[in-house]
Amino acid sequence: MAITTDETKANDDDQVYQKGVKNLCENGVTKVPKKYILPEFDRADEVLQVDLTMPNLKLPVIDFSELQGPNRSEVLKSLTSACEKYGFFQVVNHGIPNNVISSMIDVSARFFELPIEVRSKYMSSDLTAPVRYGTSFNQNKDRVFCWRDFLKLVCHPSQDVLVHWPSYPTDMRRLAVTYAKEIKNLFVMLMEAILESLGLWGATMNMTEEVEKLIKQFQDGSQQMVVNCYPPCPEPHLTLGMPPHSDYGFLTLLLQDDVEGLQIQYKEKWVAVQPLASSFVVNVGDHLEIFSNGKYRSVLHRVLVNPAKSRISVASLHSLPFNSMVSPSPSLINKANPRRYKDTDFACFLEYISSFEPKRKNFLESRKLL
Ligand code: OGA
Ligand code: NI
C-alpha cells in the first residue's frame, strides 16, 4: 500500500517531536505545532488561577533549622497542616550548601545545551532504564505533547547506575552525585519529621520497630532525579510544560531556578508557587497518601511555560526500595479509620503507566478501596 505524502510528512514530524522541544526551538519554531496544542478545556484557564494576594492564602514555608531545635513541636504542627491542607510546602534553611544547588542547576542547563546528537544517545523507551532522555510527559502514550524535555537519572543502587549516567558535560556525574546524596539526606530527615507528625513516634514515645525499619528503608530506598527543561514557548497559552499530575513516591523535593511556572491545585483552583531562593518545594506523593491512609494528600500540580525564558528544574523522587510494598501504616488504621487503599508496588505502577495515558491522579484512584 502506497503511503500518501501527508502520512509521510506526519511520520517525519513525529520523529522530530520525539527528539524534544529544545530541538524544535533550535530549529527556529515560531508557532506551537499542532502536536502540542491542548484542547481548550485542558489549557490553563485564567479564571481558575488564583493569585497570591488573595486573603488567607499563604503557602507554607518550613524552616528546617527550627525543626532541629527547641521549636520542633511547633514546626511539626505546621508540617502536619501543610501536608493535610496543601500536600505541599517549601523548605528553607535546609543546610544544603548553595554551591551544591547552583552547580546542579548550572550543569543541568549545560546538559540541555549539548548537541541533540549527544542528548539523544540517552533516549530509551525502557521505563526502567538507569538514564533516560525524553520529552513530553509520557511520549509513548501522550496524544498531545507537552512543552518539556527531561533527563531521568535513577540514583540507586549507585554502584550499578552511575556508570550509565551521561559522560557529558564532563562534570555532570560528579555534581549530580553530590546533589543526589545531599537531597537524599534531607529527604530522610523530612520523613523522620513526617512520621513524627503522624504520631508514629515523638518526644514522649520512642521509635517503634515499624518506624526504625521504615527509616532504614528510606535510607536505602529508591531515588530518581528528573532534570526538566522548559524552553521558551512562542504561544504559551496553547500548551503546558507538564499536565496536572501527582508524583508516585513518598515525597518529591523540587529544585527550581528563578523562573516561575509550577502551580499546585488548591480547592479546585491553581496557585503559582513563587520561586524562593535557596529553597526546595516539597510535595506529598501517592505513596505517602497511601501510607498515611489518606491523612496526607498527594497534590496535583502542573507547569506553565514562559514566552521569553527557559526554565530548569530538578525533581528528586523518593520512596521505599524498588521491590517493597507500600501499604497504609497498621498504626494508622483502626475501626474508626479503616484501610482506604490497596497495597501498591512499583511493578504495578509501571504496568499502569505503560498501558494508559497518565492523567491526573488516576493511578492513585485505582489503588483506592471503595
Ligand atoms: C515533576 C514536576 C515540576 C516542575 O518533575 O514531577 O512536577 O516545576 N516538576 O518542573
Ligand atoms: Ni511532579
Name the residue of 135, 250, 280, 313 to mutate for ligand 1: max ligand atoms within 8 A of Cβ.
313
CB of 247 shorter than 6 A to ligand 1: yes
Taking the CB of residue 82, how many other CB atoms lie within 10 A of it?
22
Note the pLDDT tens digit of each residue in 226-259: 999 999 999 999 999 999 999 999 999 999 999 9
Query: Rounded mean pLDDT of the chain?
Result: 92
Decide if pLDDT at 58 tops 80.
no
Confirm whether 337 is domain-assigned.
yes
Confirm whether 12 is domain-assigned.
no
Angle between helices 172-197 and 209-219 (to 10 degrees): 170
C-alpha to C-alpha distance for 328 and 339, rounded to whole angstroms: 7
Decide if pLDDT at 353 tops 80.
no
Confirm whether 344 is domain-assigned.
yes
Note the pLDDT tens digit of each residue in 111-151: 999 999 999 999 998 888 999 999 998 888 888 999 999 99
Decide if pLDDT at 1 tops 60.
no
Q: Which three cell numbers stand for residue 90?
A: 517549601
Residue pair 123/134 in contact by the 8 Å Cβ criterion: yes
**Which residue matches cell numbers 514515645?**
205
Q: How confident is the model at residue 358 (pLDDT cuts 50, 70, 90)?
A: low
Name the residue of 253, 255, 273, 303 to mutate for ligand 1: max ligand atoms within 8 A of Cβ.
303
Strand partners, 132: 152
CB of 228 shorter than 6 A to ligand 1: yes
Name the residue of 136, 242, 300 to mutate for ligand 1: max ligand atoms within 8 A of Cβ.
242
Ligand found nearest the CA of 281:
1
Q: What is residue 44's three-state secondary structure? A: coil
Cβ partners under 8 Å of residue 204, min gap 6: none
Decide if pLDDT at 205 tops 70.
yes
Q: How confident is the model at residue 48 (pLDDT cuts 50, 70, 90)?
A: low
Which pLDDT score, from 0 to 100, does residue 4 have? 55
Note the pLDDT tens digit of each residue in 301-350: 999 999 999 999 999 999 999 899 999 999 999 999 999 999 998 877 77
- What is the 8-class DSSP label of residue 43? S
Residue pair 147/118 in contact by the 8 Å Cβ criterion: no
Residue pair 222/346 in contact by the 8 Å Cβ criterion: yes
Whole-number Å distance, alpha carbon 313 to ligand 1 midpoint, is 7
Question: Please, which residues have CB less than 5 A from ligand 2, an ion?
Answer: 247
Confirm whether 321 is domain-assigned.
yes
CB of 282 shorter than 6 A to ligand 1: no
CB of 249 shorter than 6 A to ligand 1: no
Ligand found nearest the CA of 299:
2
CB of 67 shorter than 6 A to ligand 1: no
Residue pair 119/112 in contact by the 8 Å Cβ criterion: yes
Decide if pLDDT at 3 tops 60.
no
Ligand 1 atom 1: the closest Cα is on which residue? Answer: 315
What type of residue is 241? G
Angle between helices 172-197 and 98-113 (to 10 degrees): 130
Q: Closest ligand 1 atom to the C-alpha of 226? A: 5
Confirm whether 30 is domain-assigned.
yes
Between 360 and 185, the more confident residue is 185
Confirm whether 82 is domain-assigned.
yes
Mean pLDDT of 49-70: 80
pTM above 0.85, yes or no: yes
Q: Closest ligand 1 atom to the C-alpha of 252? A: 6
Decide if pLDDT at 52 tops 70.
no
The proportion of the chain whose per-residue pLDDT surpasses 70, expressed as a percent, equals 94
CB of 256 shorter than 6 A to ligand 1: yes
Sequential DSSP letters for 253-290: EEEE-S---EEEEETTEEEE----TT-EEEEE-HHHHH
**Which CATH number goes with the domain that contains 206?**
2.60.120.330
Based on the structure, what is the number of domains in the chain?
1
Whole-number Å distance, alpha carbon 274 to ligand 1 midpoint, is 14
Residue 27: phi, psi to the nearest 5? -90, 15
CB of 313 shorter than 6 A to ligand 1: yes
Whole-number Å distance, alpha carbon 363 to ligand 2 midpoint, is 14
Whole-number Å distance, alpha carbon 15 to ligand 2 midpoint, is 26
Residue pair 240/276 in contact by the 8 Å Cβ criterion: no
Mean pLDDT of 361-368: 83
Strand partners, 269: 266
Ligand 1 atom 9: the closest Cα is on which residue? Answer: 315
Domain encompassing residue 309: 19-367
CB of 261 shorter than 6 A to ligand 1: yes
C-alpha to C-alpha distance for 143 and 357, rounded to whole angstroms: 8
